[in-house]
Amino acid sequence: MKPVIRHSFNLSFGEAANLQEKLSAKVSTAGKSGKIKTVCGIDVSYSRGTNIFFAGAVVLSFPDMEILSSVTAKDTVFFPYVPGFLSFREIPVIQKCLLKLNGKPDVIIADGQGIAHPRKFGLASHIGVIYNIVSIGCAKSPLVGEFDEPPAKKGGKSPIIYKGAKVGYALRTKDNVKPVFVSPGNLISREDAVQTALACARRYRIPEPTRQAHMLVNNFRKKHEKR
DNA sequence: GCGACAG
DNA sequence: ATCTTGTCGC
């Protein structure tokens, strides 16, 4: 799978912010995505004192959540972690990883925000735009916006409001656990993004796609460190 | 200036 | 994100 838009990730914060604002104009949160047959979860991992990153992507059937295929990649990263610029740190290794993926999944779910971002261009939106693919952001903690505590039962949700607009939902993916924060990445509505994330949630807080990707990439990293 | 702050 | 063992709760 190859990106449709290519650009440098070796940018200053100012340049990165300008790029985010420019590319955010390409984000669409209008469409119905059509029938979803496959969902790809992506996650990145690394060890404490290093700048060697590992990425993992797992493709699952939807809504069965059966694992169909998976790929991993390794890369060296220099961009620091700064809230609001996570994609510049993680996308390079993710691109190396997705390059190994045969075919294009219907949806990509990333660990991070979609449009629930200072410039409406979080990790999931960035991936969605450069690959021109349906994408959803599913973060474990909020970055921007305000929201009420969603109902405690699985499926309970409450909108995340940022600068007067609804950018996503705080979603309970399991009874009595902290919610996850879902926002559209690209080519999907806020509502479809939450429904899809919820449909991917089984018996754990983290939806299967990103949960499987997380397990895969951690095993890959540990195996790589044992040499 | 102070506090917030995805992974 | 990662460093880490046991432990409390559903």
Distance CA A212, CA A72 (A): 12
Is the C-beta of residue A221 closer than 7 Å to nucleic acid chain C?
A: yes
pLDDT in tens, A155-213: 999 999 999 999 999 999 999 999 999 999 999 999 999 999 999 999 999 999 999 99
Class of the CATH-defined domain A33-225: alpha beta
Please give the radius of gyration of chain A, using alpha carbons only, rounded to the nearest integer.
16
Instruction: Find residues whose C-beta atom lies within 7 angstroms of strand B.
Output: A 43-44, 81, 83-87, 111-113, 117, 122-124, 137, 139-143
pLDDT tens digit string along A200-217?
A: 999 999 999 999 999 999
Pair type for strands A165-171 and A134-139: unpaired
A103 contacts A124 by C-beta, under 8 angstroms: no
Mean pLDDT of A49-76: 98
A53 neighbors A46 (Cβ within 8 angstroms): yes
- Element spanning A125, H or E: helix A123-130
What residues does each domain of chain A span?
33-225
pLDDT at A29 over 90: yes
